[in-house]
A and B are shown apart, each in its own frame.
Chain A
């Protein structure tokens, strides 16, 4: 019996063809103008949904603009959007689905720090870059080397330092804290306690409030009775409105600084705006600079709805614009590592957030955009924010 030398030829040829097709798939996909899938997980429901109402349309708007202009090297961006309802487990489930079902090589995310802490862990393990719009927690900082997680929001330590400096300047040395029981609130409180002594400020009372708390009267009374001269607030919009209502109901009108301009402008819509008169807030964004004005106008025209003129749409604009810029600069939008590295190759990117003229994407050892001198203090009057004198 003689062996046929061509017995395995068909199998070898078939396997070779398959291997060749797999190797060439990115090039073939690019040549065919196959869409670039980008996952978008954020809070369309849950305690931070109001932020999403302003931010999600910005992401959609920029993606549509890019696609209208021919996409990235002829490939349109396909934005796959999923709600995470401020639930870290849901957010991670979404990220997993983006990667496994849609083969997404990059993800954009919002809103809460709790969600983004889970997403950061996932990104580190799965090597898929994520750029987030809103989270402030310092636990998201990456100080060494390149990161898989980026954000356009200013980290807590920056806003806390800026707020404490403001309180010191105004002569408030005994302060109370009201904040969320979620990571953002607890992290902010920890940072205040660490930094306050350096400013000669003492935290005399604190109230951590769970999301959807119905009545803050008791908490506010405790803060009032502690002899605090001022209140440092780090809470979401509904709870901030609850704080203002409770302050009115116990007849207490201290100086209040809210660490998030985005949340306080939303809060003024949930209660009588005059309750917030005299409060201050801060953000790493100059809402008067030309690019910021241009972004507000574009978003207004796109949605046909009023836009909160604070940092919300600006940080969303920066996040999606940086993602698009990284896809372009990567040279290969089908390679997660190339996209991650490209986030560090955008020195001429003009930021909507930050002070006038601020430029540049991320630098190695820093996975956030802004610095302390980008922080600007605003005062609130009848539901609007304006730079403080």
Chain B
């Protein structure tokens, strides 16, 4: 029994932790989609900028992690706020095709990667495991402390987001904005502020995902894109417009990757991810978990 546990637990932990990271980025996409109907293609770079801020705070300013991490989250929030204020809202006010602001977010991401690259020379921005490299022992099975931390952080963030959406007036306003922009305006909801808030929340979630991911494999200025792509796959596999489905989609992708790595080869993990995506697009394009806990006043293609 212990042998089976010892075989399965590391695969589960890696799958859940990687999947949680993808899911968090998928959630970050969904927060914006629900409020604005737009996809933020700079999402991965939001995470990368947060990693850059955390790394610079730790190594250049000598700040402790408990200061650097919040600063990184603040940077993610700021990225979100500025992207919305400088690109998205002005374009939406001009009533252009939604493609324009989406392209705008992509440009923000590319500019962010280039700018961080200028400051870092496209060099790695390593961040150590938060609790050191020694493994956690659970029932005699060693497991990676960073992986466990990522899983716990994801549960906490999803719970917090659920609470915000369902138990606060602000969450109600956010949901209403996503459900019907015009009716929300008539109801006195400041729709543009809700859009701005969604970008800020999204930036913060992406920042947490990025900084938690960085200890696994150091980031460079161009690595936001990879995380962004995996988050988008999570969103598609889980269910468009459903925040919880996006997280579940990420977890599923992560678990499948871990199983492929564990029982076939890590060289085929990427292939496996895209095969899953193709299967979902063919069989259930609305996403595998599209109806899961879907709030009634929330956009979805279902």
- State the A residues within 8 Å of B (CB): 44-46, 49-50, 53, 181, 207-210, 212-219, 221-222, 237-239, 241-242, 245-246, 248-251, 269-272, 275
Q: Which residues B259-293 have CB closer than 8 A to chain A? A: 261-262, 265-267, 269-270
Given contacts A217-B144, A251-B135, contact A53 B123 (CB under 8 A): yes
Given contacts A215-B144, A242-B216, contact A50 B258 (CB under 8 A): no
Report how far A221 CA is from B12 CA in the complex, Å: 13
A213 partner residues in chain B, CB cutoff 8 A: 217, 266, 269
Given A45-B222, A249-B134, 16 extra CB contacts under 8 A: A45-B117, A49-B220, A50-B123, A212-B226, A214-B216, A215-B17, A217-B147, A219-B261, A241-B217, A242-B217, A245-B215, A249-B135, A250-B10, A251-B135, A251-B142, A272-B128
Report how far A90 CA is from B237 CA in the complex, Å: 32
Given contacts A217-B147, A251-B142, contact A50 B267 (CB under 8 A): no
Q: Which residues B213-258 have CB closer than 8 A to chain A? A: 213, 215-218, 220-223, 226, 258
B261 partner residues in chain A, CB cutoff 8 A: 218-219
Report how far A160 CA is from B189 CA in the complex, Å: 68
Residue of A210, A214, A271 ringed by the most chain B CB atoms within 10 A = A214
B143 partner residues in chain A, CB cutoff 8 A: 249
A327 to chain B, nearest CB (A): 29
Report how far A210 CA is from B271 CA in the complex, Å: 11
**In the bound complex, do residue B122 and residue A45 qualify as a contact, i.e. CB atoms below 8 Å apart?**
yes
Is there a chain A Cβ closer than 8 Å to B126's Cβ?
A: yes
**Binary CB contact string for chain B from 113 to 131 against chain A (1 if under 8 A, 0 otherwise):** 0000100011110101100
In the complex, which of the residues A45, A212, A215 contacts B14, with contact meaning CB atoms closer than 8 Å? A215
In the complex, which of the residues A212, A218, A241 contacts B262, with contact meaning CB atoms closer than 8 Å? A218
B269 partner residues in chain A, CB cutoff 8 A: 210, 213
B271 to chain A, nearest CB (A): 10
A210 partner residues in chain B, CB cutoff 8 A: 266-267, 269-270
Residue of A50, A213, A249 ringed by the most chain B CB atoms within 10 A = A249
**20 A-B contacts (beta carbon < 8 Å):** A46-B222, A49-B123, A50-B123, A181-B267, A207-B266, A210-B266, A210-B269, A214-B213, A215-B14, A216-B266, A217-B147, A238-B218, A241-B218, A245-B215, A249-B135, A249-B145, A250-B10, A250-B142, A269-B124, A275-B133
In the complex, which of the residues B124, B142, B218, B221 contacts A249, with contact meaning CB atoms closer than 8 Å? B142
Q: How many residues from B make CB contacts under 8 Å with A?
A: 41
B52 to chain A, nearest CB (A): 15
Given contacts A208-B265, A245-B133, A250-B10, contact A215 B123 (CB under 8 A): no
B145 partner residues in chain A, CB cutoff 8 A: 249
**Binary CB contact string for chain B from 200 to 220 against chain A (1 if under 8 A, 0 otherwise):** 000000000000010111101
A209 partner residues in chain B, CB cutoff 8 A: 266-267
A278 to chain B, nearest CB (A): 15
**In the bound complex, do residue A248 and residue B213 qualify as a contact, i.e. CB atoms below 8 Å apart?**
no
Report how far A177 CA is from B14 CA in the complex, Å: 21
A49 partner residues in chain B, CB cutoff 8 A: 122-124, 220
B126 partner residues in chain A, CB cutoff 8 A: 241, 269-271
